[in-house]
Amino acid sequence: MSKLAKMVPAAMILGCAGAMGADWQTLPLHAPAPADNPTTPAKVELGKMLFFDPRLSSTGTVSCFSCHNVMEGGDDHRPTSIGVHGQLGGRNAPTVWNAAFQSVQFWDGRAASLEAQAKGPIVNPIEMGMPKLDLAVDRIKRIPGYQPFFERAFGQGGQVTADTIAMSIAAYERTLITPNSPYDRFVQGDKQALDARQQRGMQAFADVGCASCHAGANFSGPPMPAGSGFFMKFPTYLDNPYVAQYHLLDDGGRAVQTGKAQDQNVWRVPTLRNLTYTAPYFHNGLVKSLPEAVKVMAATQLNKKLSDAQAADIAAFLNGLDGQFPEQAMPRLPPTPGDLLE
């Protein structure tokens, strides 16, 4: 049993979930942070401000929050996101909730950490559109009201750099954790936390084979060293109508970044937590309902055809992974100086 599973009393697991045929784990209350970027209140406060600040984009209209709405599901409910100048991105925005428990970031795993991920959208020509990170850094430097926050977060004389911006945003994102879902309470011993249908779906989730990939506390794979990632080919089985219906082969996945044939249509395994809040589903956002997404996954990944009842039961269980969202208050951002408008 993994270290995370050992955090839950064995008797509770065996009493409620042990018969379900999987290594059920609860979500930790705190996310791990790298040694060179410990999470501190000052850093989290600054990171939250930057997360909400559209001035990091070339047009001053797009922030991290634009695509990752932490007042709801941490995404934007579009098949693909809208960036600067109304441009459409190529992939569905993953939720930022519990992203700290993924060992790599983005659908293709190209960022090894939250810090690396935070820099990517700023210079993506479709997303935030800054030609260079230095231009985003310079804009934040020219907002005097930010300097005291950088000094509180990084010490006297704390500098505005691409690294300190990214470190702050990552520190804030490590607080975006949704524990204490009905599933978590069930695994901890509350036998009433999941209703009969959800318990039936939990058993089906294990029996059908979903837990072979969506394992671990975050339902995104087993614990992995930071930066290594847990990847799977999707779709694996092609002899079903869903591959063409939902254009599942149109995007090469990880191969688009690496150029390697073995990475064709390979993707980071995403979390299954809070799926109630993150429709539409998959990397292209073309599947609108959770029961349909369950059927697609069973057919393409396990070569199994599920009945409507089976899919509905598993979807009901997945609804039980909706956790408690920490309260989010909108930050007050420092004012824009007039010379920044020139």
- The domain that contains 49 carries what CATH number? 1.10.760.10
Q: Is residue 36 situated within a structural domain?
A: no
* Structure-model confidence comparison of residues 342 and 279, the more confident one: 279
- In terms of domains, do 184 and 167 share one? no
The model's confidence at residue 6, banded by pLDDT at 50, 70 and 90, is very low
The whole-number pLDDT of residue 283 equals 98
| Cα angle, residue 19 at apex, residues 273 and 178 outer, rounded to 5° | 20
The model's confidence at residue 249, banded by pLDDT at 50, 70 and 90, is very high
- In terms of domains, do 66 and 99 share one? yes
- In terms of domains, do 217 and 313 share one? yes
Q: Share the mean pLDDT of the chain.
A: 93
Q: Is residue 279 situated within a structural domain?
A: yes
- In terms of domains, do 77 and 150 share one? yes
Q: Is residue 280 situated within a structural domain?
A: yes
- In terms of domains, do 218 and 233 share one? yes
The whole-number pLDDT of residue 19 equals 53
Q: Is the pLDDT assigned to residue 5 strictly greater than 50?
A: no
Identify the H or E element spanning 231: strand 231-233
The whole-number pLDDT of residue 8 equals 35
- In terms of domains, do 315 and 183 share one? yes
Among the listed residues 72, 127, 327, 342, the single catalytic one is 127
The tens digit of pLDDT for each residue in 193-233 reads: 999 999 999 999 999 999 999 999 999 999 888 889 999 99
Please provide the size of the chain in residues: 342
- In terms of domains, do 171 and 248 share one? no
Q: Taking the mean position of all CA atoms in its chain, how far away is CA 108?
A: 12
Range with the lowest mean pLDDT among 76-80, 188-192, 268-272, 338-342?
Answer: 338-342
Cα–Cα distance, 82 to 89 (Å, whole number): 6
- In terms of domains, do 207 and 273 share one? yes
Q: Is residue 288 situated within a structural domain?
A: yes
The whole-number pLDDT of residue 284 equals 98
- In terms of domains, do 225 and 237 share one? yes
The model's confidence at residue 17, banded by pLDDT at 50, 70 and 90, is low
What mean pLDDT comes out for the span 65-87? 97
- In terms of domains, do 193 and 311 share one? yes
- In terms of domains, do 122 and 140 share one? yes
Q: Is residue 35 situated within a structural domain?
A: no
The whole-number pLDDT of residue 227 equals 86
Q: Looking at the 3D structure of the chain, how many domains does it have?
A: 2
- Residue 198 sits in which domain range? 3-29+179-319
The whole-number pLDDT of residue 20 equals 64
| Token couple for 265 | 């249509």
Region of 155 (left: φ > 0; alpha: ψ -120 to 50; beta: rest) is: left
- In terms of domains, do 129 and 242 share one? no
Q: Is residue 148 situated within a structural domain?
A: yes
Looking from the CA of 311 toward its CB, the CA atoms found within 13 Å total: 16
Collapsing DSSP to helix, strand or coil, 12 comes out as: helix
Tell me if residue 127 is catalytic: yes
Q: Is residue 34 situated within a structural domain?
A: no
Q: Is the pLDDT assigned to residue 13 strictly greater than 50?
A: no
pTM of the full structure? 0.93
